[in-house]
Amino acid sequence: MESPPLVPAAPRRSLSVASRLLKAISPTGPSRLGWLDALRGIAALVVVFDHSSYTFMAEFRRELMPEFNTSRYGIMVFFLVSGYIIPASLERRGCVRTFWIGRIFRVYPLWTAVVTALLAADLLGMAKWRDFGHLSAATVVFAHATMLQELLGTPSLLLVLWTLSYEMSFYLLVVALFTVRLHRHSAAAAVISAVLAAVSVTAGVVLPASALSGLVGTGPLVAFASIAMGVAVCCASARSSVLRVFGGVLGGALALVLVSFNGTVPQWEGLVILAVMFLGTAVHRAENGQGTWRHAAGASVVVVACAAGSAYAYGDGDHFARRGWIVAFLLAVLTFGAGLASRRRRVPRMLTGLGTISYSVYLVHPVLLAVIDHTAGRQRQDNLALEAVFFAVLLPLCLLTHQYIEVPSQTWGRGLARRVRPPY
């Protein structure tokens, strides 16, 4: 007698529909960057499993996390991909103003929709906001508006938003290098990556998390950072070369100070995150003849060694176990390396399609989980069927948010960028 399937028929049909739709939105021909989409898709699925396992696979999660930290694996792959593609995006445009317009219309519309959905769920009694303690509503709003909230002593409305703070910091640093004309220096990205990684080895014993917030207060720090970031973005987008340099340097300095002295993750890990993103940039430089593979390989060795050393020295604590973090980090680097090595091969369309909607997958799944946790509650025993049902519901929903929120907003952003592009 055959064993019953682990996944019920309805979820299987939903997954089948989702897979067909994923193929439909993915490129029909070979794509030079299809391997990056595939990596984003894989990373998104791993992060979703990490978070959903709290609800549906808690026992399995407790066994797995000390050996392999799935969350850190997924986000490190994301950061490597961002480091590879974001500087290339800025240089392709050749204009800071259009770069920021592109980023704003890429990131904020879905972010706004997701935060609005969470607020609606809270008002309907289907989910619950995080407790912000003594922080004022204005502080929380302005901190999140900059997307630097995790570096400003303000808890994120959704747990996954913390990584966007590091993404935004990287944008500011990339713009800084672009405005001072160091972005194409053959060894710049590799050197920056190696230096950040090396500093991380000693950073674990220097300052506590959110040190600046503790020193000056969260409210004043949020006010200062909001103004500084607004000035930095506007000046870096100006016609005047002097203002562009001033804005770029101001934004880069703000990002570096906040990551170094006010992150909520351990200080060493924040520096490793920046090092990982600049490592992705060094790889892109080498692949496109703007740097050497020797520089990229040297940076890789330094980053891997220093990241593993930092995690070994400081890794055990409230956030994670050192062994699980190190294994996840090494596997993330190997995954990126495998993707790079196979970049000229045809990538399955389902993977590129999943990568296309990965931002929706990343932002939408915690809202869905918040509703499930608040209404149905978490499972007491592992339930693989419910885990599959969750994915079967999530993927079609993300296809809709991608199609009706992400695609239109990016189209509007491209149109605006064409109209306001300066003549320099």
**Cα–Cα distance for residue pair 170/164, rounded to 1 Å:** 10
- How many C-beta atoms surround the C-beta of residue 230 within 10 A? 13
How many Å apart are CA 266 and CA 208, to the nearest integer? 8
Residue 56: its pLDDT value, please? 97
Tokens at 16, concatenated = 């089948």
- Tokens linked to 278: 């600049």
58-70 as b/e, with b when 16 or more CB fall inside 10 Å? Answer: eeebeebbeebbb
Looking at residue 39, what is its pLDDT?
Answer: 96
Q: Within 13 A of 98's CA, how many CA atoms are on the CB side?
A: 18
Q: Does residue 263 contact residue 270 with C-beta atoms inside 8 Å?
A: yes
The reported pLDDT for the residue numbered 5 is: 42
Residue 419, token pair as written in the block: 């109209």
Q: And the tokens for 222?
A: 């949020």
- Count CB neighbours of 344 within 10 A: 9
What is the full per-residue pLDDT of the chain (424 aa) written as tens digits?
A: 344 444 445 455 555 555 655 555 555 444 567 899 999 999 999 999 999 999 999 999 999 999 999 999 999 999 999 999 999 899 888 899 999 999 999 999 999 999 999 999 999 999 988 888 889 999 999 999 999 999 999 999 998 999 999 999 999 999 999 999 887 775 777 888 888 888 877 765 556 778 888 889 999 999 999 999 999 999 999 989 999 999 999 999 999 999 989 988 888 899 999 999 999 999 998 988 888 899 899 999 999 999 999 888 887 665 567 899 999 999 999 999 999 999 888 888 888 999 999 999 999 999 999 999 999 999 989 999 999 999 999 999 999 999 999 999 999 999 999 888 765 5
| pLDDT of amino acid 23 | 56
Tell me, rounded to whole angstroms, the distance of Cα 300 from its chain centroid: 20
Q: What's residue 92's pLDDT? A: 87
Task: Calculate ∠ Cα 175-179-184, nearest 5°.
Answer: 85
Token duo for residue 141:
């709003």
Q: What is the pTM of this model?
A: 0.91
Three-class SS string for the chain? CCCCCCCCHHHHHHHHHHHHHHHHHCCCCCCCCHHHHHHHHHHHHHHHHHHHHHHHCHHHHHHHCCCCCHHHHHHHHHHHHHHHHHHHHHHHHCCHHHHHHHHHHHHHHHHHHHHHHHHHHHHCCCCCCCCCCCCCHHHHHHHHHHCCHHHCCCCCCCHHHHHHHHHHHHHHHHHHHHHCCCCCCCCHHHHHHHHHHHHHHHHCCCCCCCHHHHHHCHHHHHHHHHHHHHHHHHHHCCCCHHHHHHHHHHHHHHHHHHHHHCCCCCHHHHHHHHHHHHHHHHHHHHHCCCCCHHHHHHHHHHHHHHHHHHHHHHCCCCCCCHHHHHHHHHHHHHHHHHHHHCCCCCCCHHHHHHHHCHHHHHHHHHHHHHHHHHHCCCCCCCCHHHHHHHHHHHHHHHHHHHHHHHHHHHHHHHHHHHHHCCCC
pLDDT at res. 1: 39
